[in-house]
Amino acid sequence: MEMKKEILYLLLFTLTTTLFAQNYDETKAGSYVLPELLKAQNGKEIVSAEDWDRIRRPEILKLFEDNVYGQVPKDFDKIEFKVLEQNYKALNGKATYKQVAVDVIRNKKVITVQVHLFIPNKIKKPVPVFLTINHRGLDTMQASPENEFWPAEEIVNSGYAIAGFDVKDVAPDHKTDYVNQILTKLYPEQTLQPNGMRALGAWGWGVSRIIDYFETDKDIDASKVIVVGHSRGGKAALWCGAQDRRVAIAVSNESGNSG
């Protein structure tokens, strides 16, 4: 099952990268043949889950790191979690709201990812959680029935928790200013590498750090994390889902733009 899920993520990468390249002249790309999904670079057929994990999966991830999304560093010195605000009667008593600061430290520098989390009150814990990648600003994460972009109340009514974060905490959604957070403070060496982390990788990195927090919250089932993104956020959701095996489901909505 795990192998099928990862193959699906990688197929979705291929489709969204090739089918929506409307801003480029395909005739200038020359002739090419896409690599076979279940054949290793040395020609070996991939016939088992063990072959996939040991051989092909790392090869395909490396192809996407080098040619599409850039690598995602996983090293840091320390991570801390602080509950800044808690309201047990949010959404007219239906949910508990938490604002959590995720502090990540590397080389004596820190960035903070602010997580906004609603957990249903009348459901047996722990509960699965939807984690949304938001590149439209905090004002779009208002928990109201009228908010179609971030349907927190609808999710809570269905028995799930919902969390969200603003991507500007890790990398602003801007073609030049994206370097102003994680890439300047924690991983400046990445900007010098041709396959270094950029904005979409940074957003996925932020998702993984929030999952680190979920693993400490007794109300959240960290084995059932559904990552959701729209457009560029959809690409980040898929990329994170392919790399971080703690992601149970990656939901990508209209992820035609590579960012």
**Tens-place pLDDT, residues 24-77:** 576 777 777 888 999 999 999 999 999 999 999 999 999 999 988 999 999 999
Task: Provide the pLDDT for residue 162.
Answer: 97
User: What confidence tier does 117 reach under pLDDT thresholds 50, 70, 90?
Assistant: very high
Q: Is the pLDDT of residue 22 over 90?
A: no
DSSP 3-state of 48: coil
The pLDDT mean for the chain works out to: 88
Band the pLDDT of 185: cuts 50, 70, 90: very high
- Is pLDDT of 254 > 90? no
Taking residues 201-215, report their average pLDDT.
Answer: 98
pLDDT at 149 over 90: no
- Residues 68-91: what's their mean pLDDT? 96
Distances (CA, A) of 171 to 182, 186, 195, 227: 6, 11, 17, 18
CB 114 within 8 A of CB 99: yes
Of the CA atoms within 13 Å of residue 216, those in its CB half-sphere come to 11
Asked if 79 contacts 212 with a C-beta cutoff of 8 angstroms, the reply is: yes
| pLDDT bucket at 259, cuts 50 / 70 / 90 | very low
CATH of domain 78-253: 3.40.50.1820
Whether cis (ω within 30° of 0) applies to the bond prior to 151 is no
| Dist. CA 143–CA 145, nearest whole Å | 7
β pairing state of 95-106 and 78-89: antiparallel
- Range ranked top by mean pLDDT from 6-10, 116-120, 145-149: 116-120
> Domain segments of the chain: what residues?
2-69, 78-253
Question: pTM for the whole thing?
Answer: 0.85
- Which one is predicted more confidently, 193 or 3? 193
Query: What pLDDT score does 20 carry?
Result: 41
